[in-house]
């Protein structure tokens, strides 16, 4: 099964640590229509660090989800993002696609920590250039994923009655959803703008750097948005569901005021203090990743970070990251791609969860996007 290729399906499933999100779209160009957005909760421990931990139980949940929303037998597109997915930018001589595939399979052990016979390999040519010695070279994005990990996803989906169009990579879906695709009339400088994406999902965090719309660096870290809720639940001795609400309605100290109509000043103060250590843990992970990228030859300064995933719902987390990292941070709005909402959700509800839909939106975008 190819990785990052063949996005013909317009129904996406984003299988996370706390839920499954389904997004359905139709149309193309500037007339993209959102047809449906469904969410199904998953019990803790079924999906851990971006991997399926129990195939049979996940399949049972997916089957119930499909039955509830009439999705049984549908063809879906999914994305994988965990520490068993490796994304590397490599420099290769210019050659035919067939020659390139053979060369990559031969040289893969130099780039990935997975034995080639245990990995699914795919690649994408990002661009071509002429080296100082006059030789034609090309920048290639190499993607490798452990076969056993991929098999857990495909088995669960097939047991649930789904058909699989192909499997994408979370980092690539995020770039498609959140990084502007410069048109041929755009300022040439726009194609060289360097941006970062920090997607803090309920399972893992994905950090991506792209120049223009070309991914240059990707890293997955085992930091989930649930860390914020758990920190509050432990410190304040409240149920996890209430802790998640506190993270969203109170959050960290910052420009967006907490919801003081619901919470006392004592709760507000305790919540903001309890979230600080977790927020610094995340910012330190991001800093280490960005420093690693900046240390690579030819790396460009990052002009903006885009915060997505459930972590983006933590109030003032964007302001905290901007202050601690010294980079402008904005909240992701992948639904900007859509011209019409014909889904089961109101505009207001979609606007609230929009950052959480980034991966799924990247999966359902038509090829011309």
- Dump the DSSP string for 235-279: HHT--HHHHHHHHHHT-SSSSSPP-TTTS-HHHHHHHHHHHHHHH
What are the φ/ψ torsions at residue 151 (nearest 5 degrees)?
-60, -35
CA angle, 51 as apex, 65 and 293 as ends, to 5°? 125
**What pLDDT is attached to residue 315?**
98
pLDDT at 182: 64
pLDDT at 166: 87
Q: Has residue 245 been placed in a domain?
A: no
d(CA 206, CA 224): 10
pLDDT tens for the chain, 369 residues long, are 355 444 444 899 999 999 999 999 998 877 899 999 999 999 999 999 999 999 999 999 999 999 999 999 999 999 999 999 999 999 999 999 999 999 998 998 999 999 999 999 999 999 988 888 888 999 999 999 999 999 999 999 999 999 999 899 999 999 999 998 765 555 666 668 999 999 999 999 999 999 999 999 999 999 999 999 999 999 999 999 999 999 999 999 999 999 999 999 999 999 999 999 999 999 999 999 999 999 998 899 999 999 999 999 999 999 999 999 999 999 999 999 999 999 999 999 999 999 999 999 999 998 754
Q: Is residue 352 part of a domain?
A: yes
Question: CA nearest 119: which of 129, 110, 130, 109?
Answer: 109
Reported pTM:
0.93
Nearest CA to 275 out of 326, 307, 311, 221 is that of 311
* Residue 240 domain-assigned (yes or no): no
Q: Which DSSP symbol is given to 309?
A: S
The pLDDT value recorded for residue 297 is 87
pLDDT recorded at residue 8: 43
Is residue 244 within 8 Å of 315, Cβ to Cβ? no
Cα separation values, 222 from 130, 230, 252, Å: 39, 15, 21
Would residue 292 count as lying in a domain? Answer: yes
Q: Has residue 354 been placed in a domain?
A: yes
Confirm whether 235 is domain-assigned: no
Distance CA 339, CA 322 (A): 30
The domain spanning residue 55 has which CATH number? Answer: 3.30.420.380
- d(Cα 204, Cα 200) in Å, to the nearest integer? 6
Q: How far apart are CA 260 and CA 255, in angstroms?
A: 14
Instruction: Decide if 237 is inside a domain.
Output: no
Rounded CA-CA distance 55/71 in Å is: 19
Strands 33-41 and 19-26: antiparallel
* Domains in the chain, number: 1
Residues near 320 by beta carbon (within 8 Å), at least 6 away in sequence = 252, 254, 279, 283
Beta carbons of 34 and 343 less than 8 angstroms apart: yes
Number of H helices, E strands in the chain: 10, 16
∠ Cα 57 59 65 (to 5°):
105
Domain range for 195 = 11-226+280-364
Query: For position 1, what pLDDT does the model report?
Result: 38
Neighbours of 45 (CB within 10 A): 10
pLDDT at 191: 67
Picking from 357, 367, 307, the residue whose alpha carbon sits closest to that of residue 34 is 357
In-domain check, residue 259: no
């Amino acid at each position: 099964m190819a990785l990052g290729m063949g996005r013909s399906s317009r129904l996406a499933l984003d299988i996370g640590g706390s839920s499954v999100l389904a997004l359905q779209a139709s149309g193309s160009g500037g007339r993209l229509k959102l047809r449906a957005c469904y969410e199904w909760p998953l019990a803790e421990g079924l999906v851990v660090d971006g991997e399926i931990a129990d195939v049979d139980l996940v399949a049972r949940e997916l089957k119930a989800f499909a039955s509830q929303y009439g999705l049984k037998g549908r063809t879906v597109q999914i994305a994988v993002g965990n520490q068993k997915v490796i994304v590397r930018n490599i420099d290769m001589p210019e050659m035919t696609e067939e020659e390139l595939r053979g060369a990559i399979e031969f040289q893969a052990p130099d780039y990935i920590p997975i034995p080639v016979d245990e990995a699914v390999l795919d690649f994408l040519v990002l661009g071509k250039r002429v080296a100082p010695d006059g030789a034609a070279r090309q920048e290639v994005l190499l993607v490798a994923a452990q076969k056993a990990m991929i098999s857990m996803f495909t088995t669960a989906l097939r047991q649930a009655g789904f058909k699989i169009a192909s499997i994408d990579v979370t980092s690539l879906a995020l770039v498609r959803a959140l990084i502007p695709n410069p048109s041929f009339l755009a300022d040439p400088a726009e194609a060289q703008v360097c941006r970062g994406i920090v997607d803090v999902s309920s399972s893992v965090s994905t950090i991506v750097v792209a120049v223009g719309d070309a991914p240059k660096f990707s890293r997955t870290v085992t930091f989930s948005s649930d860390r914020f809720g758990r920190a509050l639940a432990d410190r304040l001795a409240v149920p996890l569901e209430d802790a998640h609400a506190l993270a969203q309605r109170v959050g960290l100290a910052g420009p967006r005021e907490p919801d003081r109509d619901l919470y006392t000043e004592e709760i507000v103060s305790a919540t903001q203090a309890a979230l600080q250590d977790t927020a610094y843990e995340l910012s330190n992970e991001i800093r280490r990743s960005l420093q690693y990228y900046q240390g690579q030859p030819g790396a460009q300064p990052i002009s903006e970070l885009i915060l997505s995933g459930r972590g983006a719902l933590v109030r003032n987390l964007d302001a905290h990251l901007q202050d601690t990292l010294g980079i402008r941070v904005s909240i992701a709005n992948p639904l900007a791609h859509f011209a019409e909402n014909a889904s089961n959700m109101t505009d207001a509800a979609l606007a609230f969860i929009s950052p959480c839909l980034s991966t799924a939106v990247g999966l359902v975008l038509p090829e011309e996007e």
